[in-house]
Amino acid sequence: MKKKTLLTDILKHLFLLILALIVLTPIYYLIVTTFKSGTEAALHPMSLPSSFDFGRYVQAFHDMQYPRAFKNTLLITVGAVVGIIGASSMCGYVLNRKGKKKITQFIFLLILSGMMFPYQMSIMGLYKLIRGLGLMNSLLGVILIDIAINIPFATFLMKNFISTVPIELEEAAKIDGAGVFRTFATITFPLLKPVVATIAILNTLNVWNDFMGPLYFLQTRENDVILQEVYRNIGQFSTDWTSLFPMMVLGVLPLLIFYLFMQRYIISGVMAGSVKG
């Protein structure tokens, strides 16, 4: 039995090691290529670079106008995430506390239906709506779209997590004369930190990596985001890989740093919200 258990453990670790190599190989290729010339990358794609020259990163930083692109991406991401958290928390609060009413259950199902269809299916309607509101080529237009398409899943998480907040705290605040909005702002919302962190992380990843929204609704380079600047290296007949890869690294790096600092909140938020539903 011991030999059989040892063999099983070895096979499991071997499988995980192979899986890790499969996952890490593209990342390794991306990073080493950023230090190579076009000729060296074509002749020796998987080998280490002959020299670690950061000049390509400097050139990429300049070519993609990184400070401007980073500022636009950050504004869209922060604005959308704050809007998603604010709207979904209030919506989830009402749906949870009034969840026994049929109209509330219908509204909840209606909101969840937004998770069934990708927003790309309604891109023509969104285009007409944004143009009618005068928000074309505006960061605000992209922010509003990102808020609308990410609210359903965020509301689902909020509604479940609010079940873990004792309703007795709200009843005590009501006895002290606090209204609904004050009770929510001072009692309930501060207790939602785990799920707020989870929603912030997941939606930061979604909004930061959104390409179609900015592509369709931002029409001048002054409003371009990082992914649009990276896309400029992809032509109809050829792709400048040696310029593309450093830009990709510069685009992913802020997101990677953010994720490393915030990842510990993901599991706690999702698990706490799944205790009651």
Do both 22 and 131 map to the same domain? no
Query: Who wins on pLDDT, 25 or 38?
Result: 25
Do both 125 and 39 map to the same domain? no
Residue 91 has what pLDDT?
92
Q: What mean pLDDT comes out for the span 58-85?
A: 93
Q: What mean pLDDT comes out for the span 134-159?
A: 91
Q: What mean pLDDT comes out for the span 203-224?
A: 89
Do both 45 and 112 map to the same domain? no
Residue 96 is which amino acid?
N
Residue 269 has what pLDDT?
54
Residue span of the structural domain in which 252 resides: 64-273
Count of the separate structural domains present in the chain: 2
Work out the mean pLDDT of the chain and round it to a whole number. 85
Do both 169 and 224 map to the same domain? yes
Residue 22 has what pLDDT?
93
Do both 46 and 81 map to the same domain? no
Q: What is the CA radius of gyration of the chain?
A: 24
Residue 87 has what pLDDT?
93
Residue 125 has what pLDDT?
86
pLDDT band at 277 (very low <50, low <70, confident <90, very high): very low
Query: Who wins on pLDDT, 105 or 241?
Result: 105
Q: Which of 51-65, 107-121, 141-155, 253-267 has the lowest mean pLDDT?
A: 253-267
pLDDT band at 144 (very low <50, low <70, confident <90, very high): very high
Do both 149 and 89 map to the same domain? yes
State percent of the chain over pLDDT 90: 23
Residue 181 has what pLDDT?
87
Q: What is the CATH number of the domain that holds 211?
A: 1.10.3720.10
Residue at a domain's end among 33, 56, 79? 56
Q: What is the pLDDT of residues 97-122, one digit of tens each?
A: 887 788 888 888 888 888 887 777 88
Do both 68 and 102 map to the same domain? yes
Do both 242 and 129 map to the same domain? yes
Do both 7 and 72 map to the same domain? no
Residue 14 has what pLDDT?
92
